[in-house]
A and B are shown apart, each in its own frame.
Chain A
Amino acid sequence: MAQATGSRSGSRRPNLLDRWLRRRTRLDLPLTLAYRRIFILPTRFGWMLGVLMGAMLIGSLNFNNNLGLLTTFLIAATAVNSMLLAFRNLDGLHLRHGKARPVHAGEPVEWRMAAINESARDRTGLQLDSGEAASGFDVPAGTTQEVTVRLPDRHRGWHRPRRMRIQTTQPLGLFRAWSWIEPTSRFLVWPRPASGAPPLPEGGDDRQGLRSQALEEGEDFHSLREWREGDPLHRIAWKASQRHQTLLSRQFRRERSREVFLCLERAPGRDLEERIGIVTAWILRAEQQKRPWILEIGAQRLGPDASERHKHECLRALAEL
């Protein structure tokens, strides 16, 4: 990113600043940035220019150099203006809906938030800084902007983003105005799929692996269709045919799909993490092949199903372990 940001203690211990901030304001989204939430301090460059201005002031005063003084004061007044403008850039900005869609461990989390600029002025050069990464954005007047910050990869499970700040050093880079946000909404990180996972368990005993259900035609009634030459007589739906004044024959579903039975306890792998990784890889593979699967974790049993929703449920269950 373009600029280094202030270091932050990595510990989660609530320090003085944290406690003070929490007492001062609510930090959870949705937020509207306002006077009490916005902090302003000079940037490093701001301090440098301040020192330079101090030197100019003393020199000009000493020699009663009026043009030198005027130059100094012009810069000082510009600095004051730039402070106000930095504040204005944040003041009244609405922040909403902080969330991240689930990813696998090892992939960066894309945490996103909506920034809404209700005012009639553009807001440019804003930055969302999570402490680990930062991303810049602009919000033109009267629009809503999606802001995404990439958080580094995390371990599987539920996480909350750390305290972030939304900041700006507009227009001259002299002052940094910022506001803290600490979203309480959690996001999920799925387990990382094992890279060298064995193929989907086929065959073998019927607990782990394939549940072959080569269904006979005719177990599951499926639907009716017009009778065609060649349909066996016992398939004719007499009652329905009478209702509709035409011969209808019953269609039967043929169970072709073969369910895969995935059991966490019996998956190969030295420890739990490794087994979770392998099962995760299996789930992804099964979903890709559109084969229904059952996941068994201890006493919990999910499926059979091959839908995306099922996949999410399974991955979530694995992540929460």
Chain B
Amino acid sequence: MNRPATHLPLGPVAWTVATFLVAALPHLLAMPPVLGVVVFALCGWRLLVARKRWRLPPGWLRLLLTIAAIGLLAVSYGGLWGRRAATGMLCLMLAAKMMELSRLRDLRMVASVSLFLIASQFLFNERLVLLVYLFGGVLLALAALLRIQQLDVNRRTAPGGDVALLRQSALLLVSALPMALALWVTFPRLAEPLWGLPDEVMDGKTGLSDSMSPGSIANLFLDDSPAFRAEFAGEPPPPSQRYWRGPVLWRFDGDTWERAFLPSRTEAPRVPPGSNDYRYTVQLEPHERRWLFALDHPVRVPQDARLSLDFQLTRRNPITTLTEYSVRSNPDFTDMPRLPVTLRQLAVSLPEDRNPRTREMALELRERFEDDRALIDHVLDWLRTEPFYYSLETAPLGRHGADEFLFDLRTGYCEYYASAFAVMMRAADIPARVVTGYQGGFWQEGGQYLLVRNSDAHAWVEVWLEGSGWTRVDPTAAVSPARIRSGAGSVAGGGEGLEWLRALRNRYDRLQHLWNSWVLGFDADRQQRMMNFFGLPNLSRTGMALLMAGVLGLIVLALAWAWLRQPARSRDPVRRAWLRLARRMQRRGLGPGLGETPLAWAERVAHRLADGARFLELARDYCAIRYGDRGNEADRQRFIRAARRFPVRRAVEPRRAASV
């Protein structure tokens, strides 16, 4: 189309831009700030263009700017892979579209892709608050589409203004709800995903990574969002036993602890059920990694997961939606009574040229203590008595990390302690490994579940001891027992005055828990259970689809009735009865003409009705009541009944009936 781009008025442009910004906001917050600035700048500029009636920039400039923005995105994400990068790209493209927003269909395109942006946000986060985002975003998008439509029918200004627009859009949204909910409940779900996402696409928003270097989880402590929730059948374990096992790290290169191939790829031995077993169900928030968290040591492995030799629970696919699994853990199990040589070598190896002072101290202790347990107790005592402090505010470590921490800095948190402690153990020839995971959690009395936040992330050490196998040693507990007893919140600062805020947050989390259980966790299985609850048998996929079609049909009928119902055109019940009869006749093609009087109509159609004479009589009665003010209440009621009961049947006609 070569016709000159018409100037789009401010109203529809503003609605569309607002829709886009609201839809993109959560995406923008997760993006590097510079990209957000670019998006906002483009949107603001487009509004100015609409307001001041500037010209849009020429094509080459638009192209140049778009390429520059995408380049910026690629640099910020180190490539265009990953879902964040993909949605970021979408945001940027839409923002770039602002530069050539010159036609009606561009506006519609932006508004509808904004809906897509809203839906895609839920791939990252499905928390309860986002319901506000969902409804707000859709409401705005509908209002924008309504406004664009008004432009389409050549109305420059909206009748009733923007408030009327919002009201109209709210009406549309509310009337869409029943059907949307019915679809949501009955739409057949996939028992298994059709495809999983490749690892590269995952770009890990939260949670633990599969490596650890001191200082790496510091930002996690500040993240108060829930990591998972656990409901226990029976009593929950005491706080000191709430070690939720995550990645187990063996290899240490002097800076970073990493997983080792052998123990993570070997199957774990079967753990026999014990007498003190914990049975619990975990609702894991999506963290885009494969591992699940469990207490030591899982007896039964959830479906779709495997247990490695170092008792790490992993799933085949990354956890991208809220995932629920049940575990039974036996805390009394002895892990690896005998340590194979290869593993022992893995568990004592240290880079030669690092941490000389730690090594020296370890060797010295080795001389003094023959027994491993005594040595460990001594070191823990040392940590307790020397001026070590637990703090999130600390300095980064250099080349000889353990040395610097143990002898100079002496201030840090779990990662610092776990790493340095493990180094000392290994230097003393005691097999040691670092375990990351979560420790503690908040027991929700009201909801009967344990809430574990990302700020509960923790790292501890396991040493192998003759006779008791791998044994958990938590050096942090030696320094700051409160951290273990009452959770990260008690040591991570936060004033006393915020107590009420914390209470409020905990209450909100209970709501979130219900939301997770009933809404986000709604899958094929729950769908089936719900059907059973309503007394329906287990349905196949086809049966489910048929049920959905049935329910939908009913709802569409109800909607059609509600929308198409004629508002009462008269307060006179006699007239209403007459109009109803007229509508029934209309359905048979015998309706009255627009300007036709009742008598004229009756005379016209009487011969085509099986009960023509009766209809004429009825019309005369109607005229007498309505135009002659004749008839008392009884007459009126009699007429209404007669009109309701009148059988609209066509007379048998030899010739073809013509429709009116």
Contacts and interface: CB of A to CB of B under 8 A. Distances in A.
A170 B149 contact: yes
Interface stretch (A8-16, A48-56, A98-106, A301-309): A48-56
A96 interface: yes
B153 A124 contact: yes
A172 B190 contact: no
B519 interface: yes
A80 B559 contact: yes
Nearest to B197: A63
A42 interface: no
B206 interface: no
A77 B134 contact: no
B293 to A, nearest CB: 20
Interface in B78-117: 104-105, 108-109, 112-113, 115-116
A5 interface: no
Interface in A176-217: none
Given A77-B180, A81-B175, A2 B154 contact: yes
Nearest to B128: A67
A81 B559 contact: yes
A84 B563 contact: yes
A3 interface: yes
Given A2-B154, A74-B176, A136-B154, A62 B122 contact: no
Interface stretch (A115-123, A270-278, A313-321): A115-123
A66 B522 contact: yes
B48 interface: no
Contacts of A171: 146, 149, 168, 172
A66 B183 contact: no
A257 interface: no
B563 A96 contact: no
Contacts, number: 180
A194 to B, nearest CB: 34
A68 B117 CA distance: 10
A72 B134 CA distance: 11
A93 B458 CA distance: 71
Contacts of A82: 172
Nearest to B568: A120
B116 A52 contact: yes
A120 B153 contact: no
Given A80-B179, A125-B153, A171-B168, A26 B659 contact: yes
A66 B145 CA distance: 25
B564 interface: yes
B564 A66 contact: no
B119 A71 contact: yes
Q: Chain A: interface residue count, which band? A: 35 or more
B123 A3 contact: no
Contacts of A172: 142, 145-146, 149, 172
Given A63-B321, A82-B172, A173 B148 contact: yes
A52 B569 CA distance: 41
Interface string A77-94: 110111011011001101
A72 B119 contact: yes
Among B115, B126, B559, B659, max chain A CB count under 10 A is at B115
A69 B184 contact: yes
Nearest to A124: B153
B120 interface: yes
Nearest to A4: B1
B152 A63 contact: no
A66 B187 CA distance: 11
A60 interface: yes
B341 interface: no
B149 A67 contact: no
A61 B192 CA distance: 10
Secondary structure at chain B's binding surface: helix, strand, loop or mixed? Answer: helix
A64 B179 contact: no
A77 B177 contact: yes
A297 interface: no
B142 A91 contact: no
B190 A67 contact: no
A70 interface: yes
Given A25-B659, A80-B559, A70 B184 contact: yes
A125 B153 CA distance: 5
B122 A71 contact: yes
Contacts of A121: 567
A73 B184 contact: yes
Contacts of A36: 659
A60 B321 CA distance: 10
Interface string B185-196: 001011001110
Contacts of A65: 122-123, 126, 321
A49 to B, nearest CB: 5
A48 B112 contact: yes
Nearest to B658: A26
B195 A62 contact: yes
B173 A78 contact: yes
Interface string B210-250: 00000000000000000000000000000000000000000
A62 B195 CA distance: 7
Contacts of A76: 179-180, 183
A48 B195 CA distance: 25
Given A63-B123, A124-B153, A85 B195 contact: no
Given A26-B659, A125-B150, A173-B108, A74 B563 contact: no
A116 B594 contact: yes
Interface string A27-48: 0001010101000000011001
A73 B187 contact: yes
Given A73-B179, A76-B180, A68 B119 contact: yes
Contacts of B611: none
B406 to A, nearest CB: 46
Contacts of A118: 594
A70 B115 contact: no
A175 to B, nearest CB: 11
Given A2-B154, A32-B594, A81-B563, A68 B123 contact: yes
Contacts of B190: 61-62, 64
14 contacts: A45-B108, A48-B109, A56-B119, A63-B320, A67-B122, A67-B134, A71-B122, A76-B179, A78-B173, A81-B559, A94-B594, A118-B594, A169-B149, A173-B108
Closest 5 CB pairs of A and B: A77-B179, A77-B176, A125-B153, A67-B122, A73-B180
Given A26-B658, A67-B519, A120-B566, 5 more contacts: A49-B115, A56-B120, A59-B123, A64-B189, A171-B149
Interface of B: 104-105, 108-109, 112-113, 115-116, 118-120, 122-123, 126, 130-131, 134, 138, 142, 145-146, 148-155, 159, 168, 172-173, 175-181, 183-184, 187, 189-190, 193-195, 320-321, 519-520, 522-523, 556, 559-560, 563-564, 566-569, 586, 591, 593-594, 658-660
